[in-house]
């Protein structure tokens, strides 16, 4: 590996560590710049190289060690599902108001998105949602509950 590529990778990794220390995760937005370094692009490139089998094993180990997210869409879904589990534990149901937000998830939007994408959703995800009593149609559920009821 050339010294320029190695130096660029190390600069990216150092920027990622700064970002992670401040933000608590390793998933900056695609256009995010950390101290004049295009970290979002660098992260996307690492994912691309990994999925194409081009990422060096040592670099993958380094990224894994700091909690690098290889599949951000799946990670976002899991984060939403975890927030829904907490909501259900607290309220006893999965009827999330559309405007409901946690500190890190717009849970009402996430729930609406699951309903909208039900037919295209992976069977395993649908099964997990069904298992916790997910409400696929709020209108049907609302008809069963007294107004203001939990």
Q: How confident is the model at residue 35 (pLDDT cuts 50, 70, 90)?
A: confident
The predicted model scores a pTM of: 0.71
Distance, in Å, from the CA atom of 95 to the CA atom of 112, rounded to the nearest integer, reads: 10
Measured at the CA of 99, the angle between CA 27 and CA 95, to 5 degrees, comes to: 100
Look at 30-34, 45-49, 68-72, 141-145 and tell me which has the smallest mean pLDDT.
Answer: 141-145
Residue 72: exposure state from Cβ atoms within 10 A (0-12, 13-18, ≥19): middle
pLDDT at 31: 94
Is the pLDDT score of 150 beyond 50?
Answer: no
CA-derived radius of gyration, the chain:
20
User: Are the CB atoms for 8 and 58 separated by under 8 Å?
Assistant: no
pLDDT tens-digit readout, 44-69: 999 999 999 999 999 999 999 999 99
CA nearest to 64, candidates 53, 55, 54, 73: 55
Domain limits, the chain: 3-65, 72-144
pLDDT at 141: 61
List the beta bridge partners of residue 34: 37
């Amino acid at each position: 590996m050339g010294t320029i590529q190695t130096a660029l990778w190390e600069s990216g990794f150092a920027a990622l560590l700064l970002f992670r220390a401040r933000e608590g995760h390793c998933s900056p937005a695609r256009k995010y710049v950390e101290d004049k370094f295009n970290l979002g692009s660098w992260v996307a490139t690492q994912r691309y190289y990994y999925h194409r089998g081009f990422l060096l094993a040592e670099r993958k180990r380094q990224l894994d060690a700091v909690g690098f997210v290889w599949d951000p869409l799946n990670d976002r879904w899991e984060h939403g599902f975890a927030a829904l589990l907490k909501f259900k534990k607290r309220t006893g149901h999965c009827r999330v108001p559309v405007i409901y937000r946690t500190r890190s998830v717009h849970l009402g939007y996430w729930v609406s998105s699951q309903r909208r994408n039900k037919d295209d959703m992976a069977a395993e995800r649908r099964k997990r949602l069904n298992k916790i009593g997910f409400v696929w149609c709020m209108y049907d559920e609302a008809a069963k509950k007294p107004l203001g009821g939990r």
